[in-house]
Copies of this chain bind each other. A is one copy, B any other.
Amino acid sequence: MTYCVAMTLEAGMLFASDSRTNAGVDQVSRFSKMRSFVRDGDRVIVMLSSGNLSITQNAINTLEQRARAGDNALSLWNATSMFDVARLLGDALREVKTRDGPYLMQNNIDSSANFLVGGQIRGEPPRLFNVYSEGNFIEATAETCYFQSGETKYGKPVIDRMVTRHSTLVDAIKCTMVSFDSTMRSNISVGLPIDLLLYHTDALSIGMQRRIEETDPYYQMVHGQWGEGLRRVFAQLPGPDWA
């Protein structure tokens, strides 16, 4: 499984993904699910992937190889909008699924995969898209300023409660740590390290990128204080007078 979150706020964007992949519980490994394409002053594009790893890797490799070819075809490096980037990614996903999907299906292997892709290209505001397994996609708006993918449910309530478009990036980080903590507590197929990337609006370069390992003091602090805080709030809730 996987857990990815991407947020687009007034202050900037946050991208986070776990690093655990598994094919059954007896085959677990570490793969980063975050890829960024950056040309300082011109564009920052970040992709978070979930689903079948061979499908998502191949889709990105396809895009990257074409972008490197440097011909006049639309690519990650010459697209003038994030909308075009989302289309390119959806097309690449469809291409790989068309090629590999039928072979996977012969062995009942799920070829579904999806991407959160966001960033900013000079001349546009920051934009965030959720590219579904079928290659179609939706864009985040002021009302819904974040997307998740993979194991989304355990970590959703805290984001719904704490994050709006006006939140600071520091609050977004705090909330993301709690959201990952809740998810990893309930689903062992989501695991550390977490790849975290911050982007400040109009910076056109990466604000901060960090890999959060088990031993990370900030993650451990959030894990401990959040759990203690919840227990305190719970203890303070009165019981019903009818019980």
Interface segment among A46-54, A91-99, A105-113, A220-228: the answer is: A220-228
Interface size band for A: 35 or more
Decide yes or no: A243 and B169 within 8 Å by CB, A230-B230, A234-B175 being known contacts: yes
Measured in the bound complex, the distance between the Cα atoms of B182 and A143 in whole Å is 20
Q: Which one of B157, B218, B227, B237 contacts A161 once the chains associate, using CB atoms below 8 Å?
A: B227
A179 to chain B, nearest CB (A): 11
**What mask results when residues 127 to 141 of chain A are scored 1 for a CB within 8 Å of chain B, else 0?**
000000000000000
Q: Which of A195-243 contact B (CB under 8 A)?
A: 198, 208, 210, 218, 221-222, 225-227, 229-234, 236-243
Q: Which one of B160, B162, B186, B239 contacts A174 once the chains associate, using CB atoms below 8 Å?
A: B239
In the complex this chain forms, how many copies of it are found? Answer: 2
- A173 close to chain B: CB less than 8 A: yes
Measured in the bound complex, the distance between the Cα atoms of B240 and A231 in whole Å is 23
Q: Which of A39-90 contact B (CB under 8 A)?
A: none
Would you give 15 A-B contacts (Cβ < 8 Å), ordered by A?
A153-B153, A156-B186, A157-B185, A161-B230, A169-B243, A170-B239, A170-B240, A171-B234, A174-B237, A178-B234, A222-B237, A225-B236, A226-B233, A229-B233, A229-B236
